[in-house]
A and B are shown apart, each in its own frame.
Chain A
Amino acid sequence: NAGVTQTPKFRVLKTGQSMTLLCAQDMNHEYMYWYRQDPGMGLRLIHYSVGEGTTAKGEVPDGYNVSRLKKQNFLLGLESAAPSQTSVYFCASSSWTGSSYNEQFFGPGTRLTVL
């Protein structure tokens, strides 16, 4: 049981390049989330998904797109990277019991630098 995994762990991009971050979970969780973490800002929600085939915008969605074609995977895309997107990106997943939701489980993060 690997939990939540993220690929890659590190990446350096040049301004204008594109890339996709992959998140995978093996806990059969319905909900998945993408966050960015910047110094002094705390975790900020980029996009989230409440089930396969569904996505929704979070607090800071501009410049990012997501897809959830399979329940276990949640992809975060940067079409044209900007230096302001330099950050650490975390993926998380959680489950819904029908009466409440449970804690989020986090991946190890992806450190992205945009030059």
Chain B
Amino acid sequence: AQSVTQPDIHITVSEGASLELRCNYSYGATPYLFWYVQSPGQGLQLLLKYFSGDTLVQGIKGFEAEFKRSQSSFNLRKPSVHWSDAAEYVCAVGAPHSGNTGKLIFGQGTTLQVKP
């Protein structure tokens, strides 16, 4: 069965520092991969997605993620964090052949705190 693991529940970085949030998945083939951001009291907003092709994908707000098949990972990165990036980040996985349901499996989320 598919699963998604975000090993870090909470991360604190200083403003201007680089960021990497980890996401590992379990699936027999190449899945669809997503990163969402959730601000307090808000719904989830898509940052970026990977379906196929170039394994380094660019997203909104200066984020990027790299799909590494050998490591079953899809880590999210940003070279310089801004205070406004403080939020919860959620990784999600979808199976391309999931019976045409579009269902996703979500990780537990990583809460990012940014120190001034």
Contact = CB atoms under 8 A, between A and B. Distances in A.
A95 to B, nearest CB: 8
Contact of B44 (A40, A58, A90, A101): A90
B101 A48 contact: yes
Contacts of B96: 100
Contacts, number: 56
Nearest to B49: A103
Q: State the main secondary structure of chain A at its contact with B.
A: strand
Q: State the main secondary structure of chain B at its contact with A.
A: loop
Contacts of B107: 42
23 contacts: A4-B43, A31-B101, A31-B102, A40-B108, A41-B108, A42-B106, A42-B108, A42-B109, A48-B101, A96-B100, A96-B102, A100-B96, A101-B32, A102-B102, A103-B49, A104-B104, A105-B46, A106-B45, A108-B41, A108-B42, A109-B41, A109-B42, A109-B43
